A and B are shown apart, each in its own frame.
Chain A
Amino acid sequence: MSSKVSERLNRMLLMVPFLAREEGASISDLCREFDIDRATLTQDLDTLQMCGVPDYTPADLMECSVEGDRVRIIFADYFRRPLNLTRQEALTLFVAGSALVRSGVFGRSGALESALGKIEELLSSEGRQELEEVVERIDVEMRAYEGTMREIIDEGLQKGRNLLLEYWSYSRDEVTEREVEPVSLVCSRGYWYLVAWCHSSGDYRLFRLDRIASVELSGAPVSERTRESFSVPRVVGEYKPGKKSHRVRLLFDGGRGRRVVEEWPAATVEELDDGSVRVELRTRNLEWLATYLLKFGPEVSVEGPRELARMVRQKAEAVLAEYT
């Protein structure tokens, strides 16, 4: 979408207005807001100090001064306001906006529409035309975020109030009650999840909204610690199986196996000579897998562990009993 150079240029042109304010900017804030490490920031500042306007005498170059954690730039009046939104930025806002409106996350979409209208006016007529054409061609599907529980969850998120959940854990196949501190909504693979600090697990957990059986507001507020330690990549990061996980080996018919593997990025795959596919993965709980495998019927067989094979057999028999 954009080259490395233009990405860096855009970042630096935006950094200067923050640095050119009288009070300067804090180094740690800059690193956090621009999502860069200190080394990158130092490099950016070094580069900026070599830039300026003709005749490039010391008085024509930008000058950085660092005082404690604060850094400030002077002699950069021409960069004191940010660069207008670029095409990519406008496109990103429009793609995100239309996805959110369709999913129903905005109860009242009027405010979003008028805000996007104001963004569109920032573009040149050529840019506006391009945007309108391209937005129609990009779509991020998210399941509808709606239902009666939504208002309670929204209230918990907005006012920072804890929630009491009755939750169906698919992986353990049990419904349990817990108190959680809500911090965010995340859409992953099309599903909505509530991200919250879970008191019973002592960690952040993702709760798929369609697996929440009931929700109530609790009296307790979300703690500052929870809000501050939250970061999306850390919480939604790749699942790392612990020592207690089971090693599972499954044999699938060819086409089906390749499709399944796309849903399990962490699995290892081996294609056998007869066209079938052996999939190996690690999981902490077998309960969910036993149910999940039912839909593959004759296209799957369990090579191990035996406990899983037994669980699948039992589940299959329990289902069959309902159909006789």
Chain B
Amino acid sequence: MDKIERLINLTACLLETRRPVSYAELKNTVYRGVSKTENAVKRMFERDKDELREMGIEVETVNTEQAGEVAYIIPRDRYYLPHLQLDPDERVALTMVSRLFLGSGTPFSVPAQLALLKLAFEEQAAPAEVPHVHWVDTPRGGELLGEVLDALVRRKTLTFTYRALSGEEPAERTVEPYGLFNKNGAWYLVGFCRLRGDTRSFKLERIVGAVTANQSQPKTPDFDLPEDFDLRSATDWGWPGAGGDHLEAKVLFKARLAFAAAAGGPEPVSRRERADGGLEAAYLVNDPAEFVEWVLGFGPDAVILSPEPLREMVRLKVRSLAGERGRP
């Protein structure tokens, strides 16, 4: 008998029954014909029970009248999805949310799809007027995500070989996974690195080979999360220009691309539209190198007007790419 058949039968049996079922009874029904020793069958049952609980199916243990003997049942009111009684706005919101990770190529894809179906069961169909919103991952690094996410939830340490960008030899790290974030499509693990003795971020695609979670005592967490841990402050978040010591820079966007400066990028502190359709915007700059790169992304359609040190950074960068005419 397949494992999956056994798990379905066990679920059906404990769900259909009106009174708790003892192990002795299960042995002669669900586990009948399992050609194993008495102890092996018992262990198999314990693992099956854990697997159902892990999935979110509550298997309740009940003491019977006979001393020392326990029996099991799956309470119906906790097994079945209750009627949620969502109002129309709530239904639209939830449908949008559950669609977000559909087809994203992450461990969230399948749960998102099943959640959507569960919610749609009562409605017969998902509301048609809900706009589709999707989040798409890039494939690299995604394959490790399931393992990392699982260790994060269960608070188990992870061991992997990590290749830092600096080009030094890859080194083995053991990390307590505190948090996980995605920035610009790349997944990062934030955790306490035992090699460095500090909290670090690790880009998943820089991990060489597999990640291994600590297998011993799977039900006991390996570490406590520091009380003051905050994912947002543990990571370098946000656009260049946020936080830190500021330098004010003024940028001219030419008419052709003036809209693009307004639609994306850092938030300007002031802006002035010019008669020729161009846009002058002032920014508070925290990371000059990053800011200069962002402006250069517009090519000659964006020009830093001030301050002079940033203008000089542009010249230094671009001069080497220009031909003879660009050289001083």
Q: Contacts A139-B181, A140-B135, A140-B182: A53 and B150 contacting too (C-beta < 8 A)?
A: no
Q: Is residue A41 within 8 Å, beta carbon to beta carbon, of the partner chain? A: no
* Interface 9-mer from A5-13, A66-74, A197-205, A242-250: A5-13
Residues of B within 8 A of A293 (CB): 321
Within 8 A of A (CB), among B244-293: 256-257, 259-260, 262-265, 292-293
**A106 to B97 CA separation, bound complex (whole angstroms):** 10
**A48 to B80 CA separation, bound complex (whole angstroms):** 19
Within 8 A of B (CB), among A42-96: 47-48, 50-56, 77-79, 81-93, 95-96
Q: Contacts A82-B118, A184-B132: A47 and B315 contacting too (C-beta < 8 A)?
A: no
Q: How distant is A283 from chain B, measured CB to nearest CB, in Å?
A: 16
Q: Is residue A304 within 8 Å, beta carbon to beta carbon, of the partner chain? A: no
**A93 to B225 CA separation, bound complex (whole angstroms):** 23
The answer to whether A322 and B7 have CB atoms under 8 Å apart is: no
Within 8 A of B (CB), among A1-41: 1-3, 5-14, 17-18, 33-35
The answer to whether B136 and A6 have CB atoms under 8 Å apart is: no
Residues of A within 8 A of B178 (CB): 137
Residues of B within 8 A of A99 (CB): 100, 135
Q: How distant is B118 from chain A, measured CB to nearest CB, in Å?
A: 5
The answer to whether A297 and B321 have CB atoms under 8 Å apart is: yes
Which of chain B's residues has its CB closest to A189's CB? B185
The answer to whether B134 and A232 have CB atoms under 8 Å apart is: yes
Residues of A within 8 A of B150 (CB): 1
* Interface 9-mer from B34-42, B53-61, B63-71: B53-61
Residues of B within 8 A of A114 (CB): 90
Q: Is residue B196 within 8 Å, beta carbon to beta carbon, of the partner chain? A: no
Q: How distant is A76 from chain B, measured CB to nearest CB, in Å?
A: 8
Q: Mark contacts of B56-90 with chain A using CB atoms, 8 A cut-off: 1 yes-contact digit, 0 otherwise.
A: 11100000000000000000001111101111011
Q: Is residue A172 within 8 Å, beta carbon to beta carbon, of the partner chain? A: no
Q: Is residue B167 within 8 Å, beta carbon to beta carbon, of the partner chain? A: yes
Q: Is residue A152 within 8 Å, beta carbon to beta carbon, of the partner chain? A: no
Residues of B within 8 A of A55 (CB): 29
Q: Is residue B195 within 8 Å, beta carbon to beta carbon, of the partner chain? A: no
Of the residues A111, A296, A316, A319, contact of B92 by C-beta under 8 Å: A111
The answer to whether B303 and A6 have CB atoms under 8 Å apart is: no
Q: Is residue B210 within 8 Å, beta carbon to beta carbon, of the partner chain? A: no
The answer to whether B13 and A319 have CB atoms under 8 Å apart is: no
The answer to whether A86 and B55 have CB atoms under 8 Å apart is: yes
Q: How distant is B125 from chain A, measured CB to nearest CB, in Å?
A: 10
The answer to whether B86 and A190 have CB atoms under 8 Å apart is: no
**A174 to B26 CA separation, bound complex (whole angstroms):** 71
Residues of B within 8 A of A232 (CB): 102-103, 134, 136
Residues of B within 8 A of A270 (CB): none
Residues of B within 8 A of A211 (CB): 260, 263-264
Sorting the interface of chain B by its residue count into under 10, 10 to 19, 20 to 34 or 35 or more gives 35 or more
The answer to whether A184 and B263 have CB atoms under 8 Å apart is: no
Q: Is residue B115 within 8 Å, beta carbon to beta carbon, of the partner chain? A: yes
Residues of A within 8 A of B2 (CB): 47
Q: Contacts A53-B13, A111-B89: A265 and B321 contacting too (C-beta < 8 A)?
A: no
Q: Is residue B30 within 8 Å, beta carbon to beta carbon, of the partner chain? A: yes
Residues of A within 8 A of B237 (CB): 141
**A318 to B323 CA separation, bound complex (whole angstroms):** 11
The answer to whether A124 and B78 have CB atoms under 8 Å apart is: yes
Q: Mark contacts of B294-328 with chain A using CB atoms, 8 A cut-off: 1 yes-contact digit, 0 otherwise.
A: 00111110011000000100111111111101100
**A86 to B52 CA separation, bound complex (whole angstroms):** 10
Q: Mark contacts of A107-122 with chain B using CB atoms, 8 A cut-off: 1 yes-contact digit, 0 otherwise.
A: 0100110111011001
**A117 to B5 CA separation, bound complex (whole angstroms):** 35
Residues of B within 8 A of A100 (CB): 96-97, 100, 133
Binding site for A on B (CB under 8 A): 2-5, 7-9, 11-13, 15-16, 29-30, 51, 54-58, 78-82, 84-87, 89-94, 96-98, 100-103, 107-108, 110-115, 117-118, 121, 129, 131-136, 138-140, 146, 149-150, 152-153, 165-167, 178-186, 203, 205-206, 225, 229, 231-232, 237, 256-257, 259-260, 262-265, 292-293, 296-300, 303-304, 311, 314-323, 325-326
Binding site for B on A (CB under 8 A): 1-3, 5-14, 17-18, 33-35, 47-48, 50-56, 77-79, 81-93, 95-97, 99-100, 105-106, 108, 111-112, 114-116, 118-119, 122, 124, 127, 130, 133-134, 136-143, 147, 149, 154, 157-158, 168, 173, 175, 183-191, 209-214, 230-233, 236, 238, 254-255, 258-259, 262, 265, 275, 290-298, 300, 312-313, 315-323
**A-B CB contact pairs (8 Å), 23 listed:** A1-B149, A5-B7, A47-B4, A83-B79, A88-B107, A90-B115, A92-B112, A93-B97, A100-B100, A116-B97, A118-B90, A119-B94, A138-B180, A186-B136, A190-B185, A231-B103, A265-B138, A265-B140, A294-B297, A295-B293, A313-B322, A313-B326, A316-B322
Q: A86-B55, A184-B132 provided; 7 other pairs, C-beta below 8 A? A: A84-B81, A92-B108, A93-B97, A96-B98, A96-B100, A189-B185, A320-B318
The 4 A-B residue pairs with the shortest CB-CB distance, nearest first, are A210-B264, A297-B317, A189-B185, A111-B89
